[in-house]
Amino acid sequence: MMSKMGLDMQTIFGQALDNRGLSRKQQAVLNASLVLFAEQGYDGTSTADIAHKAGVSEGTIFKRFRTKEGLLQAILEPFLNQVIPQAAGEFVSDLADKRFPHFKDLLAYGIRDRIDFVTANRPEMKIFIQEIGKNPILLVQMTNMLADALRESFNDVFKVYQDKGELVQWESMRIMRYVTSVLIGYMIPNVIMDDMPVDKEHVTQEAVEFLLLGLTPRA
């Protein structure tokens, strides 16, 4: 299901591809690209590398994906078509549905959830981060889209706790900025380093402790 954000990736990437309908070989190409782009970077990976790892000929890559850039898009497009709905619509409605008794509970749940999300999408994250360096517009577009899509939903979610006096009366995007910043601060080394595991409970506990302090109004 498409998120209600109506996030049209065509807008970002032009000819987005429907990855469903890919043959097994084409899937192998996509998997090989994902791993190699994440490991060695987009520029550091040759189409010959990809073809070899995927066990196909070089021609096969271009038959389907037209250009090397098209391969990158085929990787990032579904990532952005799921990341954004999930990080946005599903995530926030999930939070709303849960009707946590206290903001603290919501925070802990949300942080654990996002740690899982990042962990599950590490290669795509890494590729995305590297691409942002070269194409910064990606970052702004995604940020703006997220902001537009989530502001109202988070307004609603947060209002409950703000009314209870459990959450500062800042606008929801400012609150999200701090939560996100702290989370990123903990996760960046884990995303960038392939072999650095994350202690989910420890991170969650520390982050919640700090954020709760910073986001709870003083008496």
Partner DNA sequence: GATGAATGAGCGTTCATTCAT
Partner DNA sequence: GATGAATGAACGCTCATTCAT
d(C-alpha 151, C-alpha 154), whole Å: 5
d(C-alpha 168, C-alpha 219), whole Å: 11
**Span from 67-75, 90-98, 108-116, 170-178 in contact with its own copies (CB under 8 A):** 170-178
d(C-alpha 44, C-alpha 36), whole Å: 9
Mark 102-141 with x for binding to its own copies (rule: CB under 8 A) and - for no binding.
Answer: ------------------------x--xx-xxx-x--xx-
Three-point CA angle 84, 93, 171, nearest 5°: 80
CB-wise, 74 or 211, nearer to DNA? 74
189 binds its own copies (CB under 8 A): yes
Residue 61 binding: pick among its own copies, DNA, none (C-beta 5-8 Å cut-off by kind): DNA
Q: Find how far residue 144's CA is from the centre of its chain.
A: 14
Identity of residue 44 = G
Of 187, 218, 192, nearest in space to 204 by CA? 187
Mark 8-47 with x for binding to its own copies (rule: CB under 8 A) and - for no binding.
Answer: --------------------------------xx-xx---
Residue 139 binding: pick among its own copies, DNA, none (C-beta 5-8 Å cut-off by kind): its own copies
CB neighbourhood size of 79 (10 A): 18
90 binds its own copies (CB under 8 A): no
Residues contributing to the site for DNA (CB under 7 A): 23-26, 45-49, 56-64, 66-69
Identity of residue 46 = S
Selected binder of its own copies within 57, 143, 155, 205 (CB under 8 A): 143
Q: Residue 99: how many CA atoms within 13 Å on its side-chain side?
A: 1
Dihedral of CA atoms 98, 100, 103, 106 in degrees, nearest 10, equals -40
Residue entry with tokens 């995303």:
191
Q: What is the DSSP letter of 66?
A: S
168 binds its own copies (CB under 8 A): yes
Residue 197 binding: pick among its own copies, DNA, none (C-beta 5-8 Å cut-off by kind): none
Contact positions vs its own copies (CB under 8 A):
40-41, 43-44, 126, 129-130, 132-134, 136, 139-140, 143, 168, 174, 177-178, 180-182, 184-186, 188-189, 192-194, 206, 210-211, 213-216, 218-219
